Structure 1
Amino acid sequence: MNALVMTGKQKMEMEKVDIPTPKDDEVLVETAYAGLCGTDNALFNGLPGSTDAVPPIVLGHENSGIVREVGKNVHGIEVGDRVAVDPNIYCDHCFYCRTGRFELCDNLSAIGVTRDGGLEQYFTAPEKVTYKLPDSISLQAACSLEPISCVVHAMKITDNITPYQKALIIGDGFMAKLFAQILRAYGIQRIDMAGINDDVLADLKDKLNLNKVINTSKTPLKENYDMVVEAVGLPATQEEAVDHTNKGAQVMMFGVGKPSQTFSMNTYEIFKKQLTIKGSMINPHAFEDSIALMDSGVVKTEPFQANILKLDEVENVLNHTTPKVGKSIVAVNPNLK
């Protein structure tokens, strides 16, 4: 089969490899679509994701496809099932797993990070992270269930969301678009978005029914908010997120900065406002909720999957030789339905 193998830092090669054999508790998935995200860009450039990726490795942790083989101990998944796969595999026995904080697992492994992922024709996954899809969800849409689940986890660790609150999303990328839909699904009715491109913001105001959009390259933020989502990962926007809060507000630092990155904040203001500032790490046990949100039509992904790539186009996108704006997904086998 064809596999796009990351053979080193900023280097990928198309290789012919054997179709993997699933273990007793695993399934073999024929890949339909694999999403690309900032984590793949970081791994390609030698930076860590949820954990380190050691070449040679096949990336691709946002995957959908059809089950072609099951191990002898698999009972809930059958050959022919349409599935999406949660890439994160927890050890279930470290301190963090035993105390219910699986996202902090000391022995985390991940499909497309520590074991081969969806940028190949077939990959294996444990049954416990493989989810059957309802007929209403296309395989193209389903490859974005993983990023949805990351937003769902962020909402699960956010306290006391209520309809009267005002929310600000800083950023206008794919994750910001998911947050706009999911914040409303969780009850917040007033949602503003800050970005730096007038055309993009105007389009999103209409598509996402946003209350207000602000181009912060032209107009500084003036209002304060009860919930602020930072979905960029730069020091300037992280500082902006903390600065534009009401008393008692929550700030979700969702954008991932570089490992050595820092930003400044006024600690007295944190005290005086009684702010809650949180990070959010991956997506433990959030796929069922994510599937429900997509199945209901409340969250849509296909309108925002801007670039449909072939396997041999991935490296040039990750190294910015042929840069793409917006969410990219790889059609490994788009004929699968």
Structure 2
Amino acid sequence: MKAVINFEEGKGKVALQEVPIPKIGPKDILLKVQAVGVCGSDLHMYHNIQGFAVNRPVILGHEFSGIIAEVGEDITLFRQGDKVVSETPAYVCETCVYCRTGQYQLCPDRRGFGVLENGAMAQYVKTREAIVHKIPEGVSFEKAALTEPTCVAYNAVAYHSRIRPGDDVVVIGPGPIGLMCVQMAKLFSPGRLTIVGLNKDASRLEVAKQFGVDEVIIADEQDVVQEVLKNGDGFGPDLVLDAVGVSATLKQSIEMIRPAGQITKVGWGPNPVGFSLDPLIQKAVTFQGSFSHNYPMWEKVLHMMEKGEIDPLPMAKIFTIDDWKRAFDEMDSLLHAKSIILPNK
């Protein structure tokens, strides 16, 4: 089968190669992949700038949907031909306190698709029953493949953040996660919804407008904190959703947030902070990280997609697997927010 493989450490060490179709065990499911999203982490591995361990060589891709091609003999909930989408943890221990309490995304032994285990940027992928969900009627494979980044946004906005109708909300970063945070926040009827980006984000900021933001701030032209503080009573927003993996945006978040407000950090990177966090204490700010997602969130997001309440597709462009490099490069150059690869087209 064809697969996009990060074959060794180093910049640009990614290629389309022929590899065997995975063999499955009694508890495994083999998916014929219909759509797989390109994540920012895939691009980081492409450039070898990721801030996490990678088990190379590895097939990339962890945002995927498909048709079940084969099931192991112990599988009871699914059968060949089912249209499904899979979560991202290829392996968890199932015995630690986090696995036992449904927070398996925090399992210390978690191994994700496309990083520590072979992923879905291929014609077939092996997954496991516990993390597979049926795709609702009317939800396309392409849309279902973006359940994962949508769940990241759901976890950040609807689960970790305390957001109420009328709140002043700022989203920093118009990447796929930031854009889906916009869509998710919009469901809570914020009083004002602002997105912060750069000039080079022009096309992605247009998508943010389509998703319903009230204001766009261009960080390389405007003083972000000053512009945000012009709104409302001047004390700052109730909630900042930071979807950028650099320290500068966290500093801006701390400077702009109102006393007793909230900062939810979704974007992350390897570099140290490099500034004092004392203002968090002085302002009595709630500061939390939000990572990944779990089974109930996937079920909720898929239902929201079915009802038309959430739609990530306007931010995406579709490519065949033979055109994977253009899919990477166009997303990397910010021509669009998200690339989707169709491995079997």
The TM-score with structure 2 as length reference comes to 0.87
Q: What is the DSSP-based 3-state SS (H/G/I as helix, E as strand, rest coil) of the residue aligned with 2:223?
A: coil
Distance (Å, rounded) in 2 between the aligned partners of 1:212 and 1:140: 29
Distance (Å, rounded) in 2 between the aligned partners of 1:219 and 1:13: 40
Q: Does 1:254 align with 2:266?
A: yes
Distance (Å, rounded) in 2 between the aligned partners of 1:209 and 1:319: 27
- Identity %, equivalent residues: 26
Pairs within 5 Å for 1:215-254: 215-221=218-224, 222=226, 223=229, 224-254=236-266
Say if 2:174 and 2:208, in contact at 8 Å, map to a contact too.
no
Say if 1:161 and 1:187, in contact at 8 Å, map to a contact too.
no
Instruction: Please report how far the alpha carbon of residue 169 of structure 1 lies from its aligned counterpart in structure 2 after TM superposition.
Output: 0.5
Say if 2:246 and 2:271, in contact at 8 Å, map to a contact too.
no
Instruction: Please report how far the alpha carbon of residue 287 of structure 1 lies from its aligned counterpart in structure 2 after TM superposition.
Output: 0.8
* Counterpart among 239, 250, 272 of residue 282 in structure 2: 272
Alignment size in residue pairs: 330
Instruction: Please report how far the alpha carbon of residue 321 of structure 1 lies from its aligned counterpart in structure 2 after TM superposition.
Output: 11
Instruction: Please report how far the alpha carbon of residue 174 of structure 1 lies from its aligned counterpart in structure 2 after TM superposition.
Output: 1.7
Residue 53 of structure 2 corresponds to: 52
Q: Does 1:287 align with 2:298?
A: yes
Residue 211 of structure 2 corresponds to: 208
Distance (Å, rounded) in 1 between the aligned partners of 2:159 and 2:73: 37
Q: What is the DSSP-based 3-state SS (H/G/I as helix, E as strand, rest coil) of the residue aligned with 1:248?
A: coil
User: Relative to 1, partners in 2 of residues 1:61 and 1:205: Cα closer, same or farther, differing over 3 Å?
Assistant: closer
Residue 162 of structure 2 corresponds to: 160
Q: What is the DSSP-based 3-state SS (H/G/I as helix, E as strand, rest coil) of the residue aligned with 1:106?
A: coil
Which stretch shifts more, 194-203 or 285-294?
194-203
Q: Which amino acid aligns with 1:113?
A: V
* Counterpart among 318, 322, 332 of residue 312 in structure 1: 322
Distance (Å, rounded) in 2 between the aligned partners of 1:73 and 1:317: 37
Q: Which amino acid aligns with 2:289?
A: G
Residue 64 of structure 1 corresponds to: 65
Q: What is the DSSP-based 3-state SS (H/G/I as helix, E as strand, rest coil) of the residue aligned with 2:41?
A: helix
Distance (Å, rounded) in 2 between the aligned partners of 1:177 and 1:130: 25
Distance (Å, rounded) in 1 between the aligned partners of 2:18 and 2:205: 45
Residue 85 of structure 1 corresponds to: 86
Unaligned ranges ≥5, structure 2: 230-235
Q: What is the DSSP-based 3-state SS (H/G/I as helix, E as strand, rest coil) of the residue aligned with 2:151?
A: helix
Q: Which amino acid aligns with 2:249?
A: T
Q: What is the DSSP-based 3-state SS (H/G/I as helix, E as strand, rest coil) of the residue aligned with 2:253?
A: helix
Instruction: Please report how far the alpha carbon of residue 156 of structure 1 lies from its aligned counterpart in structure 2 after TM superposition.
Output: 4.9
Instruction: Please report how far the alpha carbon of residue 188 of structure 1 lies from its aligned counterpart in structure 2 after TM superposition.
Output: 3.3
Instruction: Please report how far the alpha carbon of residue 55 of structure 1 lies from its aligned counterpart in structure 2 after TM superposition.
Output: 1.4
Say if 1:316 and 1:322, in contact at 8 Å, map to a contact too.
no
Distance (Å, rounded) in 2 between the aligned partners of 1:303 and 1:319: 19
Q: What is the DSSP-based 3-state SS (H/G/I as helix, E as strand, rest coil) of the residue aligned with 1:63?
A: strand
Once the two structures are superposed, residues 258-306 of structure 1 have per-residue CA deviations (whole angstroms, 9 ceiling, x without a partner) of x233242450x2223210111122222221121122112111111110x
Distance (Å, rounded) in 1 between the aligned partners of 2:185 and 2:45: 29
Please provide the CA RMSD for this pair: 2.4
Say if 1:102 and 1:284, in contact at 8 Å, map to a contact too.
yes
Q: Which amino acid aligns with 2:116?
A: T
Which stretch shifts more, 209-218 or 59-68?
209-218
User: Relative to 1, partners in 2 of residues 1:315 and 1:243: Cα closer, same or farther, differing over 3 Å?
Assistant: same
Q: What is the DSSP-based 3-state SS (H/G/I as helix, E as strand, rest coil) of the residue aligned with 2:59?
A: coil
Once the two structures are superposed, residues 74-119 of structure 1 have per-residue CA deviations (whole angstroms, 9 ceiling, x without a partner) of 1111211111110114222124334554222111012222221111
Instruction: Please report how far the alpha carbon of residue 311 of structure 1 lies from its aligned counterpart in structure 2 after TM superposition.
Output: 2.2
Residue 39 of structure 2 corresponds to: 37
Distance (Å, rounded) in 2 between the aligned partners of 1:69 and 1:57: 22
The TM-score with structure 1 as length reference comes to 0.89
Q: 1 or 2, which has the higher helix percentage?
A: 2
Once the two structures are superposed, residues 142-171 of structure 1 have per-residue CA deviations (whole angstroms, 9 ceiling, x without a partner) of 111011111122235424321131100011
Unaligned ranges ≥5, structure 1: none
